[in-house]
Chain A
Amino acid sequence: MTPRLAISGLTRRFGDLAVLDGVTLDVAPGTFVSLLGPSGSGKSTILKLLTGALTPDAGTIAFDGRPLLEAGRPFAFMPQRDALMPWRTIIDNVAVGLEIAGLSRKAARQQVAPFFEPFGLSGFERHFPAQLSGGMRQRAALMRTIVQDKPMLLLDEPFGALDALTRVGMQRWLETMWGRHAWTALLITHDVREAVLLSDRIYVLSARPARIVHQIDIDLPRPRAVGPDVAAIEARLLDHLLTQHRD
């Protein structure tokens, strides 16, 4: 099967700083793939190359077998910070992608309204972001990503800024949502457990300059609970990540 996303030999430097050194990975349709790596290793840079905010020095990106430029913005992107606009209400924040795609504000609102219930935000449509808790803001940002209805999601450490308890709640919630919708997603994280609980496949990135040093396919049934299987995979991944730090 043609992978939805195929990245090959992706290389990028910033002046003297070599950040990506030939990153190669695949994401199959309908799968959830995580990219695990130490901070500063170049994870966000990979997503910027995908969204077109940056251009690669070398390497290719193919989407459904075609060069990315011909695929016509196939990604819905969730940046590392929620990037909610403080002057827009939650519903208008969530609808901004549809507005940019050409819908009127009214039509965009109508289209996103049904998502508030499953995202646990009913009643908060007219609130401003400053009135929401961290977990709610993150769900709003994720909703803004989902409602764009793109073939693939790019999530940059969506739960990185949350406290531990909220984060676990959000991971569980995302997993149930995932089971229902079969989105194709590339998740960036440095949280090993998050990656194991959510992913069909995990790629481990080396420290800068980054390349893929390990790949694991996870076949555990969902919903996943923390048990011996999960712990074993976590241990293996941690081993790979820690080896990275030694050199």
Chain B
Amino acid sequence: MSSLSRLGRALPAVIAIAGLVLGWEAYATLSGISPTALPPPSRVLMQAFEHRAVLWANTLPTLQATLFGFAASLTAAFVFSVLIDFSLTLRRALLPVFIISQTLPMIAIAPLVVLWFGFGLGPKIGLVALVTFFPMLVALLQGYRSTEPELEELLSSMGASRWRVFLTARLPTSLPYFFAGLRVSITYAVVAAIFSEYAGAARGLGIYMLNAKNNFRPDLVLAAVLVSASLTLLLFGLTVLIERRALPWTRLGERR
């Protein structure tokens, strides 16, 4: 794909976003609404730049909770997916537990977890993991199951053990599914980290937003939102890049 046609595809999105921001700017400046209620985007940007040191200092803990939480849930999703794939008993025992874990409302759980485990990094990692674990687990399980039965039969006829069939056929088959789950999870991860900080933290974007709101500074709340959105987009872009590098065969159709 040429970079020109790539640009062409991104153009509608750029125009839509630019239109939205300009409309917001025009309304905020022309309608006479107080900037302490709705600050224009230009003011948000300027304040973000002015407070960049503080914002950055609060971004680091959020990024830390996000990445550690995500790494923990990635590991857990892989380990449990393998256990569930190999044992019907474990599937029956664990899947309902995981599904119930997804019904827990974050808004109730986050403050409790902070109450039990304190303001440190640990409970935040746990909360991020809780939110991001399930989409990846489901994607992996679905990926394993979509393995071609004839391929498994072929490998067995060659004398492959069950574990060998898993490594040679089931795991690679699941990779495109896994990356789809990964993309869903990564968009939840930053939001989950911020939410857990909102419930109680010494530093982080979540607690920064809470303080800014309490000081009647919506411009600083939105500046922190801007940072968190950029963070999510960055991580999302990173997973897309990794996927392209890791799964070259999935894009062969495009080139032909």
Contact = CB atoms under 8 A, between A and B. Distances in A.
A6 interface: no
Contact of A79 (B153, B169, B175, B252): B153
> Size range of the interface on A?
20 to 34
B157 A53 contact: yes
B156 A96 contact: no
Nearest to A128: B249
B148 A81 contact: yes
Contacts of B159: 73, 100-101
Interface of A: 48, 51-53, 73, 75, 77, 79-81, 83, 85-87, 96-97, 100-101, 128, 130-131, 148
Interface in B151-170: 151, 153-160, 164, 168-169
B247 interface: yes
B218 interface: no
B150 interface: yes
Contacts of B143: none
19 contacts: A48-B153, A51-B153, A51-B156, A51-B157, A52-B156, A53-B156, A75-B157, A81-B148, A83-B150, A83-B151, A83-B154, A85-B168, A87-B175, A96-B168, A100-B159, A100-B160, A100-B168, A128-B249, A130-B252
B105 interface: no
B96 interface: no
Contacts of A73: 157-159
Interface residues of B, number: 23
Q: Give the interface SS of chain B, mostly helix, strand, loop or mixed.
A: helix
Interface string B62-83: 0000000000000000000000
Contacts of B156: 51-53
Contacts of B249: 86-87, 128, 130
B253 interface: yes
A75 to B, nearest CB: 7
B172 A101 contact: no
B171 to A, nearest CB: 10
B245 interface: no
B6 interface: no
B155 A53 contact: no
Contacts of B168: 85, 96, 100
A130 B157 contact: no
A85 B157 contact: no
B154 A128 contact: no
B199 to A, nearest CB: 42
Contacts of A85: 151, 168-169, 172
B92 interface: no
Given A100-B164, A100-B168, A148-B158, A130 B153 contact: no
Given A87-B247, A130-B249, A96 B175 contact: no
B158 A53 contact: no
Contacts of B148: 81, 83
B256 interface: yes
Contact of A101 (B150, B151, B158, B252): B158
A73 B148 CA distance: 22
Contacts of B153: 48, 51, 53, 77, 79
Contacts of A79: 150-151, 153-154
Nearest to A97: B158
Nearest to A79: B150
